Structures are given as C-alpha cells and as structure tokens.
Amino acid sequence: MRSPSVKRTAQAQRLIVVSLIAVALGFLLVVQLRSQAAVARSLAAQDDTSVALLINDLNRANNQLIQQGAALTQQEAQLRQALTAGGADVQAIQKEFVTLREVNGEVPVHGPGLQIRIEGTIMDFELQDALNNLRNAGAEAIALNGYRIVGSTPVQSHADSLLINGHAVHSPLSLLVIGDPEQLGPAADLSASSLQTRVQVQVQRQTELAITEVVTPRPLIYAQLGK
C-alpha cells in the first residue's frame, strides 16, 4: 500500500507528463499549420502549375507541328514527282482542298468523338470555355443542336437562350464533337466538372458520329488580299 506522499508524487509526475505532451502537441500543430500555409504561398508565388501547363502545351504543339511538317513534305514530294514527270498532280491539290473545306465547316463529316448532353441553361461564356477546351484538345468538327460551329461562329446569350450565329438553341443541348476521343475526353470532363454544379452534363464517347450541318462562308467586303 502506497503512502499519501507517494501518491501525490505520482500524480504530479503524470500532470507534468500530460502538460509536456499538450505543449509539444500545441507547438507542433501551430508550426504544422504555418508551414503548410508557407508551402502554399511559395508555390503560388512560383506558379509552377502555370510553367508545367506551358510545358505540356508546348510539347503538344510541337508534336502537332512535326506532324504538319511530315504531311507537307509528303504533299510537296507528290507535287514535285508529277512535275518532274512532265505533268501535274490534281489529286494532291484536291486533297488539300477537301481538308480545308472540312476545317472551314463547309462539308458534312463523320468520325469518332464525343456526344455531350447538357440539360439546363448555360451562358455564352460557359459554352465558349467548353469550345475552347475542346479545340485545344484537337476537336476537328463541332455542332450544337443542329448548328455547325467553326472558329468564327459567334456564341451569345439572349435571355434564357443561347444564340449560335444568331439562332436560338434550347435545353437539352447536344454538342457533337469529332476528334480523338482520348484527347477530347479529359477536355470535356474539365468543362463538365465546372458546369455540373448547376446543370446536368453527360459525356459519351462515340466510335462514330455524323455532323451533317455546314456553314456558308461570309463574303469578304472590307478585307483585301495582301499585307
């Protein structure tokens, strides 16, 4: 059996230990929180994310330019071969003509891609952001609710409607995008994640889509050839 003085000593020891633990924990907790804030501040100041995004974009752009260079080299060789043989290769020129008509949205096209269904009202800038992301991811043809969208197609909001080149489109919106589904997918998911707080968005990968709508090019009235 312990004497009262021994008991008091044991209690005092426990109190000291508990106090020390509390002090140590408190100190570490404060330092922990402060250092996490410092890490966040230093990262923000350095903006490594922006540099990393830039490196990613440059890599992607350079790969595309390498592919463009290879295609042009082939095209040039084809033209030269025909010229050397004393003729002219109409097919090489025809091929480029068809490609540019696709780029300009003047021919119906088909291919793999995404079907994005949006239920709810979205604003013009939200659609623009989505189109921007999809173009960055290599979208080759885009249509929304029966209207083809090319680079010069204006997207505007009017009351609860979206206007595509002046034509009103209403929910549900069906955005068809032709391109590499592997590249387009993350871009669509990024747009969907910001839209999904307000509207329902479904992104479906498709092996075959058809965009039958076309645009009529505007005639140039003010702009003239040359620098």
Partner 1 sequence: MTVLASVSLATFLVTGLAATQFRSQPLPPSNRLARDEALRQSVNQLEDQNRALKARVQGLQAQVKAGEDESAHRSSAVQQVKAQLDDQRLIAGLTALHGPGLTITLHDGANPNDPADQSLGWTIHYQDLQDVVNLLWAGGAEAIAVNGQRVGPNSAFHYAGVNILVNNASRLSGPYTVTVLGNPSNLANGLGDPDQLAELKSRNRIYRLGLSWQRSTRLSVPAYEAAFLVKYAQPLG
Binding residues for partner 1 restricted to 111-140, rule: CB under 8 A: 111-113, 124-125, 128-129, 131-133, 135-136, 139-140
Question: From the list 6, 7, 8, 58, which residue makes contact with partner 1 (rule: CB under 8 A)?
Answer: 58
Distant-in-sequence, close-in-space partners of 109: CB < 8 Å, separation ≥ 6: 102, 140, 141, 178, 210, 211
Does 212 contact partner 1 by CB under 8 A?
yes
Does 182 contact partner 1 by CB under 8 A?
no
Maximum alpha-carbon separation in the chain: 119
Does 83 contact partner 1 by CB under 8 A?
yes
Does 97 contact partner 1 by CB under 8 A?
yes
When the beta carbons of 28 and 170 are compared against partner 1, the nearer one is 28
**Residue 163: other Cβ atoms inside 10 A:** 16
DSSP code for 214: -
Does 72 contact partner 1 by CB under 8 A?
yes
* Contacts of partner 1 in 137-156 (CB under 8 A): 139-141, 150-156
Helix (H, G, I), strand (E, B) or coil at 162: strand
Stretch near partner 1 under the rule CB under 8 A, chosen from 66-74, 114-122, 168-176, 193-201: 66-74
Stretch near partner 1 under the rule CB under 8 A, chosen from 61-69, 114-122, 167-175, 195-203: 61-69
> Do 116 and 177 meet the contact criterion of CB atoms below 8 Å apart?
yes
Minimum CB separation of residue 197 from partner 1 in Å reads: 18
When the beta carbons of 35 and 200 are compared against partner 1, the nearer one is 35
Question: From the list 93, 198, 200, 202, which residue makes contact with partner 1 (rule: CB under 8 A)?
Answer: 93
Show the CA angle centred on residue 45, arms to residues 42 and 51, nearest 5°: 110
Show the CA angle centred on residue 66, arms to residues 64 and 67, nearest 5°: 65
Does 96 contact partner 1 by CB under 8 A?
yes
> Do 195 and 123 meet the contact criterion of CB atoms below 8 Å apart?
no
Does 168 contact partner 1 by CB under 8 A?
no
What are 220's two structure tokens?
A: 């140039």
Stretch near partner 1 under the rule CB under 8 A, chosen from 55-63, 167-175, 188-196, 197-205: 55-63
Stretch near partner 1 under the rule CB under 8 A, chosen from 15-23, 114-122, 167-175, 192-200: 15-23
What is the b/e burial string over 98-121, where b = at least 16 CB atoms within 10 angstroms of the residue's CB?
eeeebeebeeebebbbbebebeeb
Burial, 8: exposed, middle or buried (Cβ in 10 Å; 0-12, 13-18, 19+)? exposed
